[in-house]
RNA sequence: CUGCCCGUAGCUCAGCUGGAUAGAGCAAUGGUUUUCUAAACCAUUGGUCGGGGGUUCGAGUCCCUCCGGGCAGGCCA
């Protein structure tokens, strides 16, 4: 089942190849078929003639003339004309538009579903916060963004696996356990000392009480740090992970797997295997690194380390895989983890990271490229920081949690839908200013209400129609039962947006930019509100026109719900 | 010093792999309801797309350079 957009695109490509067999095939990708801003430019427009004019050594208009003749065969087109510097503006047959609406209604979830991921296995790794305490709003952006990418890839036809890397193997877990132990001792009236770089948030008092409830004074006499860490590591990590999972659940996110780094290291040889592979390629060697630039480090003494030859890939410096004590560095662990992903059969690896860590992923990208021989597997996607305000003023940090703005506090105040839509309302590389006061308003200051309201309106009209004895038409009504004249400019503005939905999915999925779905949902809502205000839809005296409008309204409702759904936002039947 | 991100209307931001006259919301002003949800709609006002070069049929978008802001830069996390 092809969408109208796909049909027209194929037709266009076919015409170009028939007429101009000499042009390179990859130039076809440069053809844009898009909905013009200005409705007087038709329903769809293409730049094809301008793309090929130069390679063919002729003028855009001459190319356009030939394409025009070929496109005249296309039954879905009512009109095709040359405009401006060489655009071809296409006007669709109302019958084709109406048939497409029926296709949308027949299976809304299938509309815009692609096969981009055929034969591939995608993994989206996101959140992956160190399990050392509750999470803040910035992590919330990570969670929403990652989940939206997962949904988008699924829509685009990828099998998608969602994974959270539990970083339970490093030094910070040691610090966590020792911090917890200090709180534990305090519960028994003893002096506990939280390590210098430890976790002072009061949530550890709660977790210490849980430990006390479980084990009593069992650990009180134990002072050996290594033993403490070994014995309490799992308890501490799990307790912190529970705090995190609670917020993740509130956001409506479920991971397929929480991947324990500690378990990977203790149960597999991934680290050695991956390093061995790289070494066999001549990309691992023993050597010393120059002192870090831009920083004065007193007493810097170079030591021979195991290094990855990142310079072979154009990076400024090689990267250490093991530190001077012989333990894996973060980079080394990342190599092992991603090697594990590859061994599990995934060949599209998306990792959602904060912009502050983006630099660290360059050498990793090169290591994965070295392991696979492919540069199209690993896709780190970075997002900017989140600043939280209330009425323009910075909100108070939660001292209880360690001077952060708790995600759970924000969710409790504004709700998950509002939060999610706000996080997806701007592109990930834009620093996000999130005003709690605006996020609970019920107007255009808070776009989620605007989009949801449009959906509720559509639902309301459908109910109203039912009451008037004007039920929804069958998904593919006879053309004679419809009235093309009901497709007024305001209605066509809605219809055009529906037709380009599959193209939007493709572009957003390729770019890994789910925020385009949020922008689209808002645009569609605008068109719906405009159409609604422009004319009365339900008219018992004009059944064909009413049926036509109900058909469009039902299709719009379905796509609005689908696009909101990809954002993880609900589409209410009434508000 | 180096790398990455950002700079678009008074404010917050869109702008689809370069496309036609740069768009929304908020704020300001004026309208719209005996009609299906006015949480809405319509109209008006508001722009050297940070500055300057370059690439080409065509640049907010690509390249160079400068300015300004943010974030990074151990074998740390």
pLDDT tens-place string over residues A397-446: 776 777 788 899 999 999 999 999 999 999 999 988 888 888 888 877 78
Q: Does the CB of A457 sit below 7 A from strand B?
A: yes
Is the CB atom of residue A170 positioned under 7 angstroms from any atom of strand B?
Answer: yes
Rounded, the Å distance between the CA of A103 and C1' of B40 is: 29
Percent over 70 (pLDDT), chain A: 98
pLDDT of residue A292: 65
Average pLDDT score over residue span A234-247: 95
Q: A81: which strand partners?
A: A89
Nucleic strand B near CB of residue A17 (< 7 Å): no
pLDDT digits (tens, 9 = 90+) for A22-74: 877 778 888 888 888 788 888 999 998 888 888 888 888 888 998 898 888 88
Q: Which nucleotide is nearest to A490 (CA to C1')?
A: B41
Say what the pLDDT of residue A61 is.
86
Q: Is residue A75's pLDDT more than 70?
A: yes
Residues 124-143 of A, Cβ under 7 A from nucleic strand B: 130
Q: Which long-range contacts (CB under 8 A, 24 or more apart) does A251-255 make?
A: A251/A140, A251/A143, A251/A144, A251/A147, A251/A411, A251/A416, A251/A419, A251/A420, A251/A568, A252/A147, A252/A416, A252/A568, A253/A143, A253/A147, A253/A162, A253/A568, A254/A162, A255/A127, A255/A162, A255/A163, A255/A164
Q: What is the mean pLDDT of residues A302-314?
A: 89
Residue A298: predicted pLDDT = 57
| Strand B close to A79 by CB, under 7 A | no
Q: How confident is the model at residue A511 (pLDDT cuts 50, 70, 90)?
A: very high
CB of A109 within 7 Å of some strand B atom? no
Question: What is the predicted pLDDT for the residue at A392?
Answer: 74
Strands (E), A85-208: 87-92, 122-125, 160-166
- The per-residue pLDDT for A108 is 92
Residue A288 pLDDT: 87
Whether the model pTM is above 0.80? yes
Which residue did the predictor score with more confidence, A216 or A473? A216
Per-residue pLDDT averaged across A247-269, rounded? 94
Strand B-contacting residues in A 327-356, CB cut-off 7 angstroms: 327, 329-331, 355-356
Answer whether any strand B atom is within 7 A of the Cβ of A324. yes
Q: Is the CB of A37 under 7 A from strand B?
A: yes
Of the ranges A100-109, A383-392, A561-570, which one carries the lowest mean pLDDT score?
A383-392
- Give Cα separations from A565 to A95, A151, A489, A556 (angstroms): 29, 9, 28, 14
**Strand B contact at CB of residue A360, distance < 7 A:** yes
pLDDT band of residue A296 (cuts 50, 70, 90) is low
Distance of C1' in B30 from CA in A37, Å: 27
In whole numbers, what is the pLDDT of chain A averaged over residues? 90
Quick: pLDDT tens for A6-19: 999 998 988 888 88
Can you tell me the ipTM of this complex? Answer: 0.94
Mean pLDDT of A305-323: 90
CA of A357 to C1' of B70 (A): 14
pLDDT grade, residue A294 (50/70/90)?
low
In the structure, how far is the CA atom of residue A433 from the C1' atom of nucleotide B56, in angstroms? Answer: 38
A387 alpha carbon, distance to own chain's centre: 20
Domains of chain A, each with CATH number or no CATH:
4-92 (3.30.1360.70), 447-566 (1.10.730.10)
The closest nt to A321, taking CA to C1', is B75
pLDDT of residue A119: 92
Residues 228-257 of A with CB under 7 A from strand B: none
Lowest mean pLDDT among A189-193, A212-216, A331-335, A538-542: A189-193
pLDDT at A256 over 70: yes
C1' of B52 to CA of A395 (Å): 41
């Amino acid at each position: 089942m092809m969408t109208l957009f796909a049909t027209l695109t194929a037709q266009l490509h076919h015409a170009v190849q028939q007429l101009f067999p000499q042009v390179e095939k990859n130039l076809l990708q440069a053809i844009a078929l898009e909905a013009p801003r200005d409705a007087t430019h038709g329903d769809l427009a293409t730049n094809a003639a301008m793309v090929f004019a130069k390679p063919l050594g002729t003028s855009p208009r001459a190319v356009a003339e030939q394409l025009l003749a070929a496109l005249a065969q296309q039954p879905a087109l009512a009109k095709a004309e040359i405009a401006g510097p060489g655009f071809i503006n296409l006007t669709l047959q109302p019958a084709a538009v109406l048939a497409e609406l029926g296709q949308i209604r027949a299976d809304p979830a299938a509309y815009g579903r692609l096969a981009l991921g055929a034969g591939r296995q995608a993994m989206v790794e996101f959140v992956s916060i160190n399990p050392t305490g509750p999470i803040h709003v910035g992590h919330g952006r990570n969670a929403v963004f990652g989940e939206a990418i997962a949904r988008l890839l699924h829509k685009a036809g990828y099998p998608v696996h969602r994974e959270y890397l539990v970083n339970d193997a490093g030094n910070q877990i040691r610090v966590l356990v020792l911090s917890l132990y200090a709180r534990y001792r305090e519960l028994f009236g003893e002096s506990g000392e939280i390590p210098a770089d430890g976790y002072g948030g009061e949530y550890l008092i709660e977790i210490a009480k849980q430990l006390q409830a479980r084990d009593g004074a069992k650990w009180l006499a134990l002072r050996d740090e290594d033993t403490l860490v070994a014995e309490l590591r799992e308890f501490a990590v799990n307790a912190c992970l529970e705090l995190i999972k609670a917020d993740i659940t509130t956001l409506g996110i479920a991971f397929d797997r929480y991947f324990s780094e500690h378990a990977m290291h203790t149960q597999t040889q991934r680290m050695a295997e991956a390093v061995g592979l790289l070494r066999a390629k001549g990309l691992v060697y023993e050597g010393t690194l120059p002192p870090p630039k831009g920083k004065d480090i007193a007493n810097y003494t170079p030591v021979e380390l195991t290094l990855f030859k990142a310079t072979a890939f154009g990076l400024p410096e090689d990267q250490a895989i093991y530190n001077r004590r012989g333990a894996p560095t973060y980079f080394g662990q990342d190599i092992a983890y991603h090697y594990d992903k590859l061994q599990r059969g995934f060949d599209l690896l998306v990792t959602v990271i904060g912009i502050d860590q983006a630099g660290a992923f360059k050498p990793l990208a090169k290591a994965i490229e070295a392991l696979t021989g492919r540069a199209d597997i690993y896709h780190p996607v970075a997002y900017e920081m989140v600043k939280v305000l209330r009425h323009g003023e910075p909100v108070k940090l939660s001292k209880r949690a360690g001077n952060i703005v708790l995600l759970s506090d924000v969710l409790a105040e504004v709700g998950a839908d509002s939060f999610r839509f706000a996080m997806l309302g701007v592109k990930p590389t834009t620093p996000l200013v999130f005003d709690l006061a605006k996020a609970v308003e019920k107007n255009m200051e808070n776009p989620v209400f605007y989009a949801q309201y449009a959906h509720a309106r559509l639902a309301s009209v459908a109910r109203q129609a039912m009451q008037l004895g004007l039920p929804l038409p069958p998904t593919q009504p006879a053309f004679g039962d419809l009235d093309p004249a009901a497709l007024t400019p305001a209605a066509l503005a809605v219809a055009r947006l529906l037709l380009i939905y599959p193209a939007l999915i493709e572009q957003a999925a390729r770019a890994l930019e789910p925020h385009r779905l949020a922008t689209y949902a808002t645009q569609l809502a605008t068109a719906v509100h405009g159409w609604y205000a422009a004319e009365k839809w339900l008219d018992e005296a004009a059944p064909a026109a009413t049926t036509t409008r109900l058909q469009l309204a039902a299709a719009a409702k379905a796509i609005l719900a689908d696009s909101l759904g990809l954002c993880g936002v609900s589409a209410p039947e009434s508000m």
